[in-house]
């Protein structure tokens, strides 16, 4: 009887699959994908950008600001009042000091709203400001 209990316990142990190495590999792959993933930043709304022949992509765009057709300012998926644009830009630039500000202005927005954003960015100490356009 003892032999059969020992024998069945040994068989049961051999038939189990050890999942620990597989879980280790899965966690290492998960960490790899999280570290290497690039996160897309969005301003929060879709704008109808004007077309430009000389438009070129910005590589270090860290702050995207959208100005809608009804002159609303959107930063980081939140509608932002004009008075808070400067402090919001300062906060976002503190996270990435080498980044640039890209303004995505709708073709029907007023120049006054775009200039308000540009002035706030300059007052926040941003040196590189770009206007977004569609390439022909």
> Residue 83: which CATH number?
3.30.420.270
pLDDT digits (tens, 9 = 90+) for 91-124: 888 887 777 888 888 888 898 999 999 999 999 9
In total, how many domains does the chain have? Answer: 2
pTM: 0.62
Strands (E) located in 14-120: 51-52, 61-67, 73-75, 78-80, 100-105
Comparing C-alpha atoms, which of 31, 49, 13 is closest to residue 133?
49
At which residue do the structure tokens 């927005």 appear? 109
Q: Does residue 104 sit in helix, strand or coil? A: strand
Claim to verify: residue 32 and residue 57 sit in the same structural domain: no
In a domain, 42, yes or no: no
**What are 9's two structure tokens?**
């316990």
C-beta separation of 132 from 104 below 8 A: yes
Claim to verify: residue 55 and residue 109 sit in the same structural domain: yes
Q: In which domain, by residue range, is 23 found?
A: 2-36
Claim to verify: residue 62 and residue 102 sit in the same structural domain: yes
């Amino acid at each position: 009887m003892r032999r059969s209990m020992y024998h069945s316990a040994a068989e049961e142990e051999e038939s189990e699959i050890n999942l620990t190495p597989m879980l280790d590999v899965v966690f290492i792959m998960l960490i790899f994908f999280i570290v290497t993933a690039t996160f897309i930043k969005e301003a929060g709304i879709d704008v109808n950008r004007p077309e430009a022949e000389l438009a070129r992509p910005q590589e270090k765009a860290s702050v995207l600001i959208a100005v809608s057709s009804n002159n609303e300012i959107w930063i980081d998926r939140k509608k932002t009042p004009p008075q808070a644009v400067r402090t919001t830009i300062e906060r976002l630039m503190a996270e990435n000091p080498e980044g640039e500000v890209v303004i995505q202005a709708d073709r029907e927005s007023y120049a006054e709203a775009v200039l308000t954003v540009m002035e706030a960015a300059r007052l926040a100490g941003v040196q590189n400001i770009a206007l977004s356009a569609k390439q022909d």
